[in-house]
Structure 1
Amino acid sequence: MLQRSRAAISLSVAVLAGLLAGGMATAAEWRQGWATLRNERHGFLIAYPSEIFQQESESRTDEGRVLQSRDGKAQLLVGAFANDDSTTLAEYRDFLMQENYAGAEIDYAPVRGKWFVLSGTMGDREFYERVSFTCDGRLINSWAMVYPKAERRLYNRVVEAVSRTYSPGAGRSGNCD
């Protein structure tokens, strides 16, 4: 079973890598076998390779989801929540750096007007987290992938592909109301 699962992941990644490198398939073909996660309350959307990640169980809240790789070594986390404290983008980034990534080696960390990314290594794990402020900062959207450093070649490609599908939310109607 494990060998078949690794073979399926390898095949998915090989197809994905070829497409990212400019293969001939259409956009719809590269996401065959992918699942899409939509959040009705906050409006975010993200797609992921279902051969690699699966939902552990239904979420108890409508703020997000945690998906596990089939071998349990990687996680994909996605969610959104109201910014009731009016935290700024810079304050939230500092908070994550201190609380979640203290001691990490950050190797990619762009900051733009309404979003930022934190990516790097902590021990034997790599991470990539994208945070977007929407609705004039009233809603904080994020997704993150945490995975074994030893499997970075696989998961770095998955991160790149998943990032192309992500759309932060703007509430139920899409109009921040």
Structure 2
Amino acid sequence: MTSLAVGSASTAFAAQSTYVNERFGTVCTFPDDVFTDRQPEPENGDGQVWLSADSASLTCSGIFNVDDDTPKGFIAGERASNEPGYEVTYSKAGKDWAVLSGVKDGKIFYERRLFGRDGVIRTVWIDYPPALKSKYDPLVGVIGGGLKGP
């Protein structure tokens, strides 16, 4: 079961929603006037997806870190990927987080992962058409920076 609570206005966006995933404790805050179309929750309860009217998507999820992955290891693996249509153009890692950006299947993507001490990796993924770069680039850092866990 998941919950969705509407928060107060912030300086980052006029109206925001805060999603809390009950299975993993992943918390994402995002502009609810942009990501308006909430998709059905997956059966495993690992997260939630929202779509925008202009073909962007936002995913907030969690997974168990069964491979004991690290931020630097995650980035190295993604940079080495040979997946067609996937290219990482930016990456940065900290002690317990990693950020990637690039292109996947013709869309710009931004991904932030938090590597929790509780053995859970919490993720926010945003993708959008390149023509909307000026609209979404300012949002991704704010949304990614709002990713939290317990």
With the shorter chain as reference, the TM-score category is 0.7 to 0.9
Q: Which amino acid aligns with 1:104?
A: E
Match in the other structure for 2:138: 157
Q: Which amino acid aligns with 1:41?
A: R
Unmatched tracts of structure 1, length 5 or more? 1-25
Q: Point out the structure with max Rg over C-alpha.
A: 1
Q: Are residue 147 (structure 1) and residue 121 (structure 2) matched?
A: no
Correspondent of 1:134 among 116, 120, 137: 116
Query: Does structure 2 conserve the Cα–Cα contact (< 8 Å) formed by 1:47 and 1:166?
Result: yes
**Whole-angstrom CA distance in 1 between matches of 2:112 and 2:83:** 13
Q: How many residues align?
A: 141
Match in the other structure for 1:52: 34
Q: CA deviation at 1:55?
A: 1.0
Query: Does structure 2 conserve the Cα–Cα contact (< 8 Å) formed by 1:81 and 1:141?
Result: yes
Which of the two has greater helix per residue?
A: 1
Identity of aligned residues (%): 26
Match in the other structure for 1:67: 50
Q: CA deviation at 1:149?
A: 0.5
Q: CA deviation at 1:33?
A: 2.3
Residue 66 and residue 159 in structure 1: after superposition, are their counterparts in 2 closer, same or farther (change >3 A)?
Answer: same
Backbone CA RMSD of aligned residues: 2.6
Q: Which amino acid aligns with 1:141?
A: R
Q: CA deviation at 1:31?
A: 4.3
Residue 160 and residue 90 in structure 1: after superposition, are their counterparts in 2 closer, same or farther (change >3 A)?
Answer: closer
Q: CA deviation at 1:163?
A: 2.5
Q: Which amino acid aligns with 1:46?
A: C
Normalised by the size of structure 1, how large is the TM-score?
A: 0.68
Q: Which amino acid aligns with 1:115?
A: W
Which of the two has greater strand per residue?
A: 2
